[in-house]
Structure 1
Amino acid sequence: MLTASPPKLRGHLTRWLFEISPGVYVGKVSARVRELLWQQVLENIGKGRAVMVHPANNEQGLDFRVRGQEWEPVDYEGLKLIMRPNSNKQQLNRQDNLERNERSKSKADIQRKKTGWSKVSRYRRYAR
């Protein structure tokens, strides 16, 4: 998917892929061609934005690449997710307050937390 891309790049991509909507290209190409197309996108995108999604042999079944986006791909326990930039001042203040509260907790408060078996696991363990 391309946004604010030069006509040269759009024309190059239509040689290999179908343009099903303005800026949206689909097709089945080999990994080598996909890499070459992504290199062309990186070289010619300028100030525009690009997103490439392709099949991959992982738990999600896909992988993606982005260029010129504010949202960043992040690996979270083996899953690739998108992290949005947080510009909301209220939410930033809440996060700061939570961090301060976590730091101010005493060790006694942390040790008082109830640990052990949940009700369900107790039932399963002793019901057999």
Structure 2
Amino acid sequence: MPWIVISLSAPKPALRGWLKRYLVEMSPMLFVGKLDARTSALVFQRIRVSGEKASLATVRKGGIGFDMELCGSGNAVLTDFDGLFLVSTKRKQSVKAEEKIGDFDNANIPPSKH
């Protein structure tokens, strides 16, 4: 039975209560436990379907010793880089500096009182 670790961000109370059936809640929204393959697949599927933001980690032989998965995180991407997991975030397209600042007219600035 492999160890699994699940970290949730603002889950619905129903999902949190359901996870407490199978895992120990070490601190708020951090679940740890040992599950057989069938039960862990059921737990992971339930989290994926719920659409909740979650990070899942399971034990794996070799490499760094665990697998990771991110669920429900729109801007985070998990990349396997030669056995090392890297989490990166997608950037929003930046606006040109000229468009941000606009036309700057010194005449509209009130004089300082010093």
2:76 pairs with 1:71: yes
Structure 2 unmatched ranges of 5 or more = 1-6, 95-114
2:89 pairs with 1:84: yes
Secondary structure of 1:35's match? helix
Structure 1 unmatched ranges of 5 or more = 90-128
The amino acid across from 2:54 in the alignment is A
Q: Which runs of 4+ in 1 moved over 3 A?
A: 86-89
- Give the structure with the larger strand fraction: 2
Residues matched between the structures, number: 87
Cα deviation, 1:76-117, whole Å, max 9, x if unaligned, reads: 12322212334595xxxxxxxxxxxxxxxxxxxxxxxxxxxx
Match of 1:54 among 52, 58, 64: 58
2:37 pairs with 1:31: yes
- Give the structure with the larger helix fraction: 1
Q: Percent identity?
A: 32
Give the 5 Å matches for 1:1-128: 1-44=7-50, 46=51, 48-69=52-73, 70-86=75-91
TM-score (norm 1): 0.60
Cα deviation, 1:49-90, whole Å, max 9, x if unaligned, reads: 11111111130100111112222111212322212334595x
TM-score (norm 2): 0.67
Q: Which one has more relative contact order, counting CA pairs under 8 Å at least 6 apart?
A: 2
The amino acid across from 1:83 in the alignment is S
> In the TM superposition, what is the alpha-carbon distance from 1:21 to its structure 2 partner?
1.3
The amino acid across from 1:85 in the alignment is K
Q: Report the RMSD for the aligned CA atoms in angstroms.
A: 1.8
The amino acid across from 2:33 in the alignment is G
Q: Are the counterparts in 1 of residues 64 and 83 from structure 2 also a CA contact under 8 Å?
A: no
